[in-house]
Amino acid sequence: MEHRQDTIFALASGGGRGAIAVVRLSGPGCGDVLRRVAGGLPQARQASLRRLRAPGSGEVLDQALVLWFPAPASYTGEDCAELHLHGGPAVIAAVSEALAVLGARPAEPGEFTRRAFLNNRMDLTAAEGIADLIAAETEAQRRQALRQADGALARLLEGWAARLMRLLAHQEAAIEFADDDLPSDLGDRARAGAAALKAEIATHLADGGQGERLREGVVVAILGAPNAGKSSLLNTLAGREAAIVSARAGTTRDVVEVRLVLAGVPVTLADTAGLRDAGDEIEQEGIRRARRRAGEADLVLAVFAANEAPDAATLEWAARGAVVVANKVDLALAPAGIAGVAPLAVSALTGEGLQALRERLEAEARRLAGAGDAAMLTRPRHRAALTEAAAWLAEAEAAPLPELVSEALRAALRALGRVTGRVGVEDVLDIVFGEFCIGK
Ligand SMILES: Nc1nc2c(ncn2[C@@H]2O[C@H](COP(=O)(O)OP(=O)(O)OP(=O)(O)O)[C@@H](O)[C@H]2O)c(=O)[nH]1
Ligand SMILES: [K+]
Ligand SMILES: [Mg+2]
């Protein structure tokens, strides 16, 4: 908080050489800095071409577009400015030095957005959305981030918080004014409302972790017997020779990863060592790594060669929901079913079935990380807080005493409020007194 009185600046565009570099400033000293470095305050929110001069010597440092965003209608809610410089390192260094001489200090990571949050320009989920938007590498990630930055998750949470606040108000009224002529079933209504809200939150929690997966990417592990053609499949899916392919069983030792984008979802495809009991120490370590990676993966591609009987691991993973792939169908027909699952018949050699495999992987990526239109939970902290809120609502529903119902509702409200960073249990009083006009 004490930091909020000073004025910060930072290079807001990417590092390195570019046509334009944007230096952003925020804080109460912005106006002064502009007057001294740009010779005056430009019209608010309009680009003006100015010579920037070094304080003291008056030497011209650059010719720049200058923008002035007086508080409170700015990104941070404070006085802000942008200097659009020529994007060379020496220009950026000279202007940064001038700003420092004038009393501004280099911003810490995330400090502009932190100030925006502290000045109520956005809630925590919107701030996270902006961070995600900057980090987004795929279309689906961009869409999800933009929705969150735009307040979709905050609106959902604030809607729930408002309902919860009313329930709490009803419950408090039922306790405080038991003798007055209030509706006598207020307490029951609060419990029923808690149950309904709990169910709604539970539905959101049962999203299969899609939002988090889209943010972090989906991990797909390729598993199977030696020489099944795992590395060959990795290479065709990646479109490059990422892994060594050879006729010798036990070629792949370390996990080989490639990054793909499937249906707008970032996917890490991990090729692993063929599973078998034989092999030297190194191969056995590779096999341990293969099993570990498969255990942690969001999806396993269990690959076997159609001209051989499926190995035990393929059968096991088929039963556990893996996508089963019969490779080398140029050599033999694929069996109809493996542990009740119809395998995808492919040939890494001839290309047969690879389009179907790619489409299947896209469908799986969509299922695992599908960017629907909903306000998704995108971070473990969202999930943890909602889980806690749902648990408190269950407690409220079952609590034997009205006071305990109240307490549980308050705790649920605090848990919800943590997600947006706007915790306001005090607001409940306004509802109690506004809605019921008690005591006039
Ligand atoms: N006929 C045929 N041969 C294939 C096919 N796919 C791969 N192969 C061959 O099978 C052999 C093994 O391929 P790899 O991709 O190295 O198999 P792998 O499963 O990665 O093997 P390890 O890393 O040793 O576990 C190579 O000689 C490939 O050329 C296919 O669809 N048809
Ligand atoms: K091999
Ligand atoms: Mg291999």
ipTM: 0.99
348 CA closest ligand 1 atom index: 31
The yes-or-no verdict on residue 375 having pLDDT over 50 is yes
Q: Is the CB of 230 under 6 A from ligand 1?
A: yes
Q: In what order do the strands lie in the sheet with 344-345?
A: 256-262, 265-271, 218-224, 299-305, 323-327, 344-345
The amino acid that residue 151 corresponds to is G
In terms of pLDDT, which residue wins out, 184 or 35? 35
> Of 283, 360, 287, nearest to 322 (Cα)?
360
Start-end of CATH 3.40.50.300 domains in the chain: 214-369
Percent of the chain clearing pLDDT 70 (strictly above):
93
Which residue's CA is the closest to the ligand 1 atom numbered 13?
A: 229
273 CA closest ligand 1 atom index: 25
Distance 261 CA to ligand 1 centre (A): 24
What's the pLDDT score for residue 183? 65
Start-end of CATH 3.30.1360.120 domains in the chain: 2-118
70 three-state secondary structure? coil
**Tokens 């039922």 sit at which residue?**
174
Start-end of CATH 1.20.120.430 domains in the chain: 152-207+377-436
Residue 7 has, within 13 A of its CA and on its CB side, a CA count of 21
Instruction: Say whether 243 counts as a known binding-site residue.
Output: no
The yes-or-no verdict on residue 178 having pLDDT over 80 is no
The span from the CA of 262 to the CA of 257, in Å, is: 15
> Of 60, 69, 211, nearest to 140 (Cα)?
211
Instruction: Say whether 273 counts as a known binding-site residue.
Output: yes
Instruction: Say whether 57 counts as a known binding-site residue.
Output: no
Q: Is the dihedral of CA 244, 249, 255, 261 positive or negative?
A: positive
Cα-Cα end-to-end distance for the chain: 39
Instruction: Say whether 246 counts as a known binding-site residue.
Output: yes
Cβ(224)–Cβ(311) under 8 Å?
A: yes
Cβ(79)–Cβ(73) under 8 Å?
A: no
Pocket test for ligand 1, best of 230, 232, 349 (most atoms within 8 A of CB): 232
Which residue's CA is the closest to the ligand 1 atom numbered 16?
A: 245
Q: What is the largest CA-CA distance in the chain?
A: 88
Beta bridge partners of 11: 23
Q: Is the CB of 353 under 6 A from ligand 1?
A: no
The yes-or-no verdict on residue 440 having pLDDT over 60 is no
pTM score of the predicted model: 0.83
Q: Which ligand has the nearest atom to the CA of 225? A: 1
**Per-residue confidence band for 295, with pLDDT thresholds at 50, 70 and 90:** very high
What are the tens digits of pLDDT across the range 405-431?
999 999 999 999 989 987 655 555 555
Which residue's CA is the closest to the ligand 1 atom numbered 7?
A: 229
Q: Which of the four CATH numbers 1.20.120.430, 3.30.200.20, 3.90.850.10, 2.170.190.11 does domain 152-207+377-436 have?
A: 1.20.120.430
The span from the CA of 16 to the CA of 50, in Å, is: 23
The span from the CA of 330 to the CA of 138, in Å, is: 35
Pocket test for ligand 1, best of 227, 230, 289, 303 (most atoms within 8 A of CB): 227
Distance 246 CA to ligand 1 centre (A): 7
Q: Is the CB of 328 under 6 A from ligand 1?
A: yes
What class is the 2-118 domain? alpha beta
The span from the CA of 333 to the CA of 75, in Å, is: 62
What are the tens digits of pLDDT across the range 190-236?
899 999 999 999 999 998 899 999 999 999 999 999 999 999 999 99
Instruction: Say whether 320 counts as a known binding-site residue.
Output: no
CA 121 from chain centre, in angstroms, equals: 20
Cβ(129)–Cβ(157) under 8 Å?
A: no
Q: Is the CB of 228 under 6 A from ligand 1?
A: yes
329 CA closest ligand 1 atom index: 31
The amino acid that residue 146 corresponds to is L
Which fold is adopted by the domain 214-369? Rossmann fold (3.40.50)
The yes-or-no verdict on residue 433 having pLDDT over 50 is no
The span from the CA of 230 to the CA of 224, in Å, is: 7
The span from the CA of 311 to the CA of 411, in Å, is: 52
Helices (H), 222-379: 230-238, 281-296, 312-319, 354-369
What are the tens digits of pLDDT across the range 68-122?
999 999 999 999 999 999 999 999 999 999 999 999 999 998 889 989 988 999 9
